[in-house]
Structure 1
Amino acid sequence: MSGENNPAETDIYPESEDFFAFGEDLELNQFDGLPFSSRYYKLLKERKTLPVWRLRCEFDDTLVNNRLVIVAGTAKTGKSTQIPQWCAEFCLSAQYQHGTVVCTQTKKQWAVDLALHVADEMDVNIGHEVGYSIPLETCCSSDTVLRFCTDDMLLREMMSDPYLEHYGVIIIDQAHERTVSTDILLGLIKDILLQRPELRVVVLTIPPMAEKLLIHYGTIPLLSLEASCSAEVVHSSSKDYFYSALRLVLEIHRTKEEGDVIVFLASAEEVRCAHHILQREGTRLGTDLGQMVLVVLCQSQGGLPCVLTEQPGSKKARRVFLSTQQGEDVWWPTDSVNFVIDTGVQKKMVYNPRIRANSVVLQPISQCQADIRKQLTGAAGKCFCLYSEKTQLPAENSPQILESNITPTVLFLKRMQIAGLRKCDFIDRPDPEGLMQALEELDYLAALDDDGNLSEIGIIMSEIPLDPQMAKALLASCEFDCVSEMLTITAMMSAPSCFLEPPAGMIHDAVQCHRKFQHPEGDHFTLINIYSAFKQIQEGQHFSAEKWCHDYFLDHSALKTAEAIRSELTDTLNKIELPISEPSFGTKTNTLNIKRALLAGFFMHIARDVDGSGNYFILTHKHMAHVHPLSSYGAQSHKLGLPEWVVFHEYNLSESNCMRTVSEISPQVFIQMAPLYFFYNLPPSESKGILQDILDSDGARKYKDEEQKASTKRNDANSSCAVTLQTYNRCAIQ
C-alpha cells in the first residue's frame, strides 16, 4: 500500500491520514527487512537499562579502530547478549565483505540459550539470521549472520578453515573459564590476526582475567563495566558445608520470603545427593509453605526449565537450582533469584601424566568465581558464603590445560602446523612433562613420523572427533573388518553413561536388569548388546523406547546421544573414504578382531590379575587397581571368575582405584598389537617378564618353523638343478 492521499479512501476511512503517517514511519529490521514487532521495542527498552549499554558508542568506535578488544565485566552486565548484536551490526555495515560473526561459549547449553535469547531481542527467527552450532546439533542456515557455538566446535572448524576466513568478527566469551579449547583459541589468535588484518576479535571476560590478557597481548584497548548492584553477603564457617547448605535451603523456604535459590555444590554427585535429600524433606513440609521445585543443573544436564505454571489460588512455587562450579555464568533468571548459597569448594578432575590417570581433588573456588556468585541476585538478595571471610581464595580459575591430558591438544596443534599456523602462544604453557608424555603417546600410536610431524595415520586420526586412542582403535577396525561394532563401542563410550543410578531399595532390581545384557567377553561387548537391544526396540512398534529404558534402568537420553555420535562417526568415515564392514557380532573371528582393534589404541591400558582375586597390576605405571563394581565382571565374578589379563578404557584414582569398561584379552594378542618400542619401554615387573617369556618362546618357535621350512625347500631342490639355483638365490637375498 502506498503512502499517497486518496480522497475516496479519506472519505471511507476518516483516520487514514494518521494510518499512512504511521506506515511511513514504520521501522524495518535491517537484518531481515521486516517491520519490527511490538515485542522488539519492549525488549529494547529493557536492554537499554543494562550496564553494558553505557559503552555502546565507545565499543563501536573501538571495534572500528582496533583489531583486538577486551571487554571486562561482572555478571548481569549484559555483555554476552548485547556485544554479539553490535558486532553483527558492524559486519552488516561492511556488507559482510569480511565475513559474519561467531561467538564461542564454553558450554553447549549456554550457546543454545544465548542464541534463543539474542534472536528474540533482534526480532529474527532462530536458525536464520541467528543460529547455533553445538556437538551433534546445528541450527543455522545460509542467512545466519550471528552464530553461537562451543569453543571446541570452532576449533574443529579450523581443520578446514585454519584462518577462520568465514568470519569478520570472532567473539571469545567466558575467557575466564580457562577451558582447553578457549586457551588454544586465545593462543592462536595472534597468528591469525597477522594473516588477516581485517579481522576483529573481541574477548569477553571478568576483570582479573582481563589484566592477564593485557600482559599477554600487550597494548590493546580494554573496556570495563560493573554491575549496578550486589547482594548482601553473609559469611559463616562450617565443617560440613554440604549439610549446612541443605539446612539453609529448608530454613529459607520456611521463612516464606519470596525468591528462588541457587545452591553451588562441589560436584555432580553432591548435586544428585542433595536433590534426593531435599526431595524427601520437601514432602514433610507443610502445604502452607508452597511448593519447592528442585532443578538439577550440572554440566551434563540441560538448561533452565520453562516458567512454572501456577494453578489458580495455589501458593507461588519456589525454584531451588542445584549447580556445580561450572554454572556461575549460566543464563540465570536473575530477576527471580533472591538467595545464593555458596559452599566455596569444588571437586575437579586433575590428570597425572606419569600414571595416565585422573584423580578428583577437592579445592577452594577462585575469587573470580566467588565474586560472580555474589552478583547473581539483586540488591535486595542475599549471598550466603559457607566459609570464613578471612579465607584466602586463589585469585583466578586454574587453567584446564595444566590439569588435563593434552594428547588431543598436541594432535590438533600438529594438524594446525600443517595448515600453516606457526605456533600457539599459550597464556599458560602446558607442563613439559605432560607435553612429553603426549608426544610419546602419539608416537606409540604411529601418529608421528620420524621427524616428529603428523604421519598419514595421524592426519586421519585428527579428522575423527575422538580422543587419539579411540580414533586409532576405530581406524584399526577398518583393517580387522569390525567397523560396525567399533562404531557402536566408541559411540557408547563417548556418550554419558547409559546406566541409571537406581533409587534406594532397587539396586538389586537394576543389577538383575543389567545382567541380561552382560557379555562373557567383557564390558565393551556388553555395550554392543545394550545398543543393539535399544535399536531393536526403537525399530519395533510394540514398545516405547523411553519406557523400555526406564524398565531396564537405562538412560534414554544417553542412548540417543550415542546414536547421534555413531551417525556422526559413520559420516566422518564415509567422508574420508574408509571402508565400513558389515556387522558380524557374535562370531569367534569378530570377537578376536574387536579385541585387536581395541588393543591397537589402548595397548597402554593393560592390567593383570596377580593373585586371582581381582588385584590388577597396571603394566604402564605399576599401580594396583580393581574392576569397577558396575562392570559385568564385577557382577558375575562369583560365577565365571575374573580374567587374568584385561584391557580397560579408563582408570580413576578417586574411585577406589577402579578400572572402568573392562574386557578380557590374551597376552599373545597384546604382544601382537603393541608396538615393540612401547613394550620394551614398560617398567620391569613380573607381568612384563611373563610377556617377555611368551615373546621369546613365540620368537624361538617362529625361528624353528622358518628353519624347518628352509630345510624342506633345500631337500626338494635337489630334484632339479635349475630349481636349486633359483631357490638358492632367493634364500641368499632374504
Structure 2
Amino acid sequence: MAGNGELSGELGKEEEDSENLFEFGDDLELNQFDGLPYSSRYYRLLQERKTLPVWKYRHEFMTLLENNQILIVSGTTKTGKSTQIPQWCAEFCLSAQYQHGVVVCSQIQRRQAVDLALRVADEMDVNIGHEIGYSIPLETCCSNDTILRYCTDDILLREMMSDPLLEQYGVVLVDQAHERTVSTDVLLGLLREVLLQRPELRLVVLSAPPTPETLLTHYGSVPRLHLEAPSAGEVIHSSSSSSESFYSALRLALEVHRSREPGDVAVFLATEQEVVCACNIITKEASRMSVSLGELLAVPMCSGHAGICPPVTESPQMSRRIFVSCSQLEDLFWSVDSIAFVIDTGVEKRLVYNPRLRASSEVIRPISKCQAEMRKQLTGSTGKCFCLYPEDVQLPAEIHPRILESNITSTALFLKRMEAAGVTHCHFINRPDPEGLMQALEELDYLAALDNDGNLSEMGIIMSELPLEPQMAKALLASCEFDCASEMLTIAAMLTAPSCFIEPPVGMLTEVMRCHMKFQHPEGDHFTLINIYNTFKRSQREPYFSQEQWCEQYYLCCAALQTADAIRSQLSDVLKRIELPISEPAFGTKTNALNIKRALLAGYFMQMARDVDGSGNYFMLLNKHVAQAHRLSAYGAKAQKLGLPEWLLFHEYSLTDNSIRTLTHISPHAFVQMAPQYFFCNLPPSESKEILQNILDRDRTGIPKAKTRPEPKTETQESEAQERCVLQ
C-alpha cells in the first residue's frame, strides 16, 4: 500500500512528539482522523494506553501488517489487544488514504462490541457513530464517515451476502477466534477464499493464548505475534473435584466478603441459569449480613433475558461487587480493573445437537486450558484465583468447535447464498459432521430452498434474506400467501427473542402459572404468544402503569418483550423491502386461526407429534421418539384434565428433559395437505403414518373423512372459545 513504508519509521517520532505535547500542555496538534485539535483527555488516555502490555509491540505489529496479508496475534484479556490493535489498523488504512477500505473488527458478544467502540472512540478523541461505530443485532451506530467499526460476527456474515468480497474494508479483524463459534469459524473459512481474490486485503486474527493449533495451521505459515501477559496472582486449587461446585463457589464468595479483604470477586459457573440463581442467593444472603461489612452487590454477566450484558460501572465506596458469569464471557472483563478474587468451577454446560433425533441436549464438560488461563489473569499480580478442581486435572487443550455440535441448517442456507454470490468455497477449520451436513441439506430440500440441482432456489434466496431459522423463515413467507403475516410476524419475533416467561421463584409456581393462564389460548402456545404480545403493546397506552410494572404484575420479562418488538419491526421492514404483502391483523377469527396453522405447517411440518395413548405421551413422526409436553405449555401436566389434542405441532424438542415445547393443535387433515409428498413418503413406518396415509387416501378418493379420535370440542365451540380468549 502506498505510504506504508514511511508509517512505521515515523512511529517513534510521533510518540515522542505526543509526550512533549502532553508535558507542556500544548493542545494544538491536530487529530489525524477528524482534523480537530486533540483534547487534554486524549493525552491522559494516551499515557494509560502506553502502560498496556500490547503497546511495546506496536512497531513490530505495524511492520508485520505492512508486509503480510495475514497476521495472528495472541494475548489475554488484560493486554489491550482488542482496543489498541484496531486503532493501529485504522492508522494503517489512513496511510493509504483508505483506497483499499476501512477497518472492521468482529466480536462474539454484542455488549462487548458496543463497549469497545465507546472506549476506542474516547481514546481516539473522535465521536461515536462518526469515525468510530458499531453494528449489533437490532442496533447500528455508524455513518459514511466511519473508519473503524466493531460488529458481531453474525452481522459481518450477513453483510457478506451483499458484499461477498468485503470490498469496503482494507483490514478485517476477527477477535476472540479461540471461542470457535459457528459464525466465527464460517467467517474465517470464507475469508481464506476472499483473501485469494483480494491480495490487498489484510486479515488480523486475535486469539487468547495458547492459540489453538488448528487455528494456527489453518492459514499455513503466517506471522504470529504473542503478547506477554501480566503476571498472574496466587492460584489455589481444590484437592478434589466436587459435584457441588455451584454451592462451594457461592460459599467461598461470601467468605471472601466476610474476610474484609479489598477487591471485587468474579465467579465462573456453568450456565446462565446458575448465574441468575446465584445472584438471587447472593442478594438474599447480603441482606442478612452486618452493615459493617459494607454493601455486597451481585452483578450478573450473562446474556440474560435481554440478550445483552449489563454495563460495568465503577463500584461505589464501601461496597464489593461479585460478578457472576459463565463460559464464553471471559473477555467481558477487559475493562474491570478492580477484580482481586476469581472463583472458577472449571466446568461449562453446552448444548450438543443430535442430527438423528433433530434435538439438542445439555452436556456438562470441563473448560479448556485457554479459558482457565484467561480466568487466572483477571486478578492481576496481587489477587487470588480459586480453582475448584485439582491442579493435575486434564483440561482440553482447545475449546470444542461449536460447528461440530450445532444444528447447521441456517449455516448451510447461508453458504448456499454465498455460492450464488461467487464465493464458492468455505475452507473450514474443522469440517462439519457429514451426517449433520446431510441432514441440513435434506431439511432445506424439504423446505423448497433448493432446486433439483441442489442450488439455491428462488424461495431459498428470499428465505436467506430473513434473519431467522429456515423453518421460521418459510412459515413467515407462507403467511404472506395465507393472509396472516401480521400474526406470524409476532410469532416469529416472540420465538426469536429470549423467552418472555420468567422462571417461577421458589414457592411461587402456582401464582406464576395462574398469571400466565390469563393469556392461554385454546389453540395452543403460538396463539398464546400473540395474546401476550398484543396485550403488552396495549399496556403502552395504559396511563397508570409502565410496561415494566405491567410485566412485573404478570411475571413476564419486559426486556425480552421489548426485544421481540424490535425484532418484529425489523422483520416487517425486510418483508416490505422485498415487496411481500403484510395483511391487516385479524387475530381471533376462525379463518385467521386456520391460516396461522397453515403457515406454521408450511415451515414446521417436520415437527408433528401424536398422542398415542391419550395421556400426553406424544410420538414424534420424524424420529419415532416419545416425549411429553413441556410443563409450562398450555398442554402441559397442569392442563391434562382439560383434554389433550391428539395431534400437535411443536417448535422444538429437548433431549435434556424429553419435552416438546411451544405447541399448537393441528388437524391431521391440514398436515397431509401442507406437508410435501416426498417428505411424507420418507417418514419412518409407524401407526401414526398409517393413520395419515388413510386420511390422504380418503382425500384423494372423496370418501367421507373419519376422525382419528373424538375431538374434545366441536368446531363451533372452538371458534367461540377463540373469540373469548383474545384479551380485549
TM-score by length of 1: 0.90
Q: Which amino acid aligns with 2:308?
A: G
Residue 504 of structure 1 deviates from its aligned partner by 2.6
The residue aligned with 1:256 is: 260
Which moves more between the two structures, 494-503 or 667-676? 494-503
Deviations 1:655-683 (A, max 9, x none): x2111110000000011111111111111
Deviations 1:15-73 (A, max 9, x none): xxxx9x98987211111111111111111111111111111011111111111111111
Q: Which has the larger radius of gyration?
A: 1
Pairing 1:682–2:686 present? no
The residue aligned with 1:525 is: 527
CA distance in 1, matches of 2:311, 2:423: 42
Q: Which amino acid aligns with 2:686?
A: S
CA distance in 2, matches of 1:23, 1:225: 32
Residue 198 of structure 1 deviates from its aligned partner by 1.1
The residue aligned with 1:280 is: 284
The residue aligned with 1:265 is: 269
The residue aligned with 2:415 is: 413
Residue 93 of structure 1 deviates from its aligned partner by 1.1
The residue aligned with 2:401 is: 399
SS at match of 1:559: helix
Pair 641,702 (structure 1): closer, same or farther in 2 beyond 3 Å: closer
The residue aligned with 1:302 is: 308
Deviations 1:418-439 (A, max 9, x none): 1111210000000000000001
SS at match of 2:682: coil
Residue 330 of structure 1 deviates from its aligned partner by 1.1
The residue aligned with 1:87 is: 89
CA distance in 1, matches of 2:27, 2:165: 43
CA distance in 2, matches of 1:59, 1:96: 19
Pair 245,28 (structure 1): closer, same or farther in 2 beyond 3 Å: same
Q: Which amino acid aligns with 2:309?
A: G
Q: Which amino acid aligns with 1:662?
A: L
Pairing 1:373–2:375 present? yes
Which moves more between the two structures, 498-507 or 350-359? 498-507
Taking only the aligned residue pairs, the percentage that are identical comes to 68
Which moves more between the two structures, 531-540 or 561-570? 531-540
The residue aligned with 1:619 is: 621
CA distance in 1, matches of 2:52, 2:273: 36
Correspondences of 1:148-227 after superposition (within 5 Å): 148-209=150-211, 211-227=213-229
The residue aligned with 1:515 is: 517
Q: Structure 2: any 5+ residue segments left out of the alignment? A: 1-20, 706-728
The residue aligned with 2:724 is: none
Q: Which amino acid aligns with 1:667?
A: P
Residue 635 of structure 1 deviates from its aligned partner by 6.8
Q: Which amino acid aligns with 1:690?
A: I
Pair 454,306 (structure 1): closer, same or farther in 2 beyond 3 Å: closer
SS at match of 2:333: coil
The residue aligned with 1:119 is: 121
Deviations 1:502-555 (A, max 9, x none): 333332222111111110000000000111111111134343111111111111
Residue 617 of structure 1 deviates from its aligned partner by 0.6
The residue aligned with 2:428 is: 426
The residue aligned with 1:358 is: 360
CA distance in 2, matches of 1:607, 1:23: 74
Correspondences of 1:448-459 after superposition (within 5 Å): 448-459=450-461
Tell me, yes or no, if the aligned pair for 1:238 and 1:244 is still in contact at 8 Å: no
Correspondences of 1:50-89 after superposition (within 5 Å): 50-89=52-91
SS at match of 1:460: helix
Correspondences of 1:460-499 after superposition (within 5 Å): 460-499=462-501
SS at match of 2:360: strand
CA distance in 1, matches of 2:330, 2:337: 16
Deviations 1:134-184 (A, max 9, x none): 000001112111000000000000111000111111000000010111001
Q: Which amino acid aligns with 2:697?
A: D
CA distance in 2, matches of 1:577, 1:263: 49
* 1:628 alignment partner, one of 630, 633, 658: 630
Pair 25,329 (structure 1): closer, same or farther in 2 beyond 3 Å: closer
CA distance in 2, matches of 1:395, 1:483: 48
* 1:36 alignment partner, one of 35, 38, 44: 38
Tell me, yes or no, if the aligned pair for 2:27 and 2:39 is still in contact at 8 Å: no
Tell me, yes or no, if the aligned pair for 1:447 and 1:459 is still in contact at 8 Å: yes
CA distance in 1, matches of 2:26, 2:618: 80
Residue 637 of structure 1 deviates from its aligned partner by 1.9
Tell me, yes or no, if the aligned pair for 1:299 and 1:326 is still in contact at 8 Å: no
SS at match of 1:632: coil
The residue aligned with 2:719 is: none
Pairing 1:696–2:697 present? yes
SS at match of 1:329: helix
The number of residues matched between the two structures is 680
* 1:447 alignment partner, one of 446, 449, 467: 449
Pair 668,703 (structure 1): closer, same or farther in 2 beyond 3 Å: closer
Deviations 1:601-656 (A, max 9, x none): 001111111111111111111111111111122276245211110001111111x2
Tell me, yes or no, if the aligned pair for 2:212 and 2:398 is still in contact at 8 Å: no
Tell me, yes or no, if the aligned pair for 1:110 and 1:331 is still in contact at 8 Å: no
Deviations 1:96-154 (A, max 9, x none): 11111000001111101111111111111111111100000001112111000000000
Which moves more between the two structures, 317-326 or 293-302? 293-302
Which moves more between the two structures, 495-504 or 582-591? 495-504
Q: Which amino acid aligns with 1:472?
A: K
Residue 378 of structure 1 deviates from its aligned partner by 0.9
The residue aligned with 2:562 is: 560
Tell me, yes or no, if the aligned pair for 1:113 and 1:331 is still in contact at 8 Å: no
CA distance in 1, matches of 2:587, 2:430: 47
Pair 334,540 (structure 1): closer, same or farther in 2 beyond 3 Å: closer
The residue aligned with 1:328 is: 330
SS at match of 2:702: helix
The residue aligned with 1:731 is: none
Q: Which amino acid aligns with 1:154?
A: L
Deviations 1:674-716 (A, max 9, x none): 1111111111111111111111222222799xxxxxxxxxxxx
Pair 63,321 (structure 1): closer, same or farther in 2 beyond 3 Å: same
Pair 545,75 (structure 1): closer, same or farther in 2 beyond 3 Å: closer
The residue aligned with 1:666 is: 667
CA distance in 2, matches of 1:677, 1:669: 16
Correspondences of 1:571-586 after superposition (within 5 Å): 571-586=573-588
TM-score by length of 2: 0.91
Tell me, yes or no, if the aligned pair for 2:27 and 2:38 is still in contact at 8 Å: no
Residue 303 of structure 1 deviates from its aligned partner by 3.3
* 1:539 alignment partner, one of 517, 538, 541: 541
Tell me, yes or no, if the aligned pair for 2:631 and 2:638 is still in contact at 8 Å: no
Tell me, yes or no, if the aligned pair for 1:70 and 1:210 is still in contact at 8 Å: no
CA distance in 1, matches of 2:98, 2:57: 24
Q: Which amino acid aligns with 1:563?
A: D
Tell me, yes or no, if the aligned pair for 2:230 and 2:377 is still in contact at 8 Å: no
Tell me which stretches of 4 or more aligned residues in structure 1 moved more than 6 Å. Answer: 21-25
Residue 308 of structure 1 deviates from its aligned partner by 4.8
Residue 304 of structure 1 deviates from its aligned partner by 4.4
CA distance in 1, matches of 2:193, 2:506: 55
Tell me, yes or no, if the aligned pair for 1:464 and 1:471 is still in contact at 8 Å: yes
SS at match of 1:330: helix
* 1:244 alignment partner, one of 244, 248, 257: 248
Residue 238 of structure 1 deviates from its aligned partner by 3.8
Pair 22,444 (structure 1): closer, same or farther in 2 beyond 3 Å: same
CA distance in 2, matches of 1:61, 1:142: 29
* 1:293 alignment partner, one of 289, 294, 297: 297
The residue aligned with 1:49 is: 51
SS at match of 2:144: coil
Tell me, yes or no, if the aligned pair for 1:334 and 1:378 is still in contact at 8 Å: no
Pair 563,304 (structure 1): closer, same or farther in 2 beyond 3 Å: closer
Residue 210 of structure 1 deviates from its aligned partner by 5.2
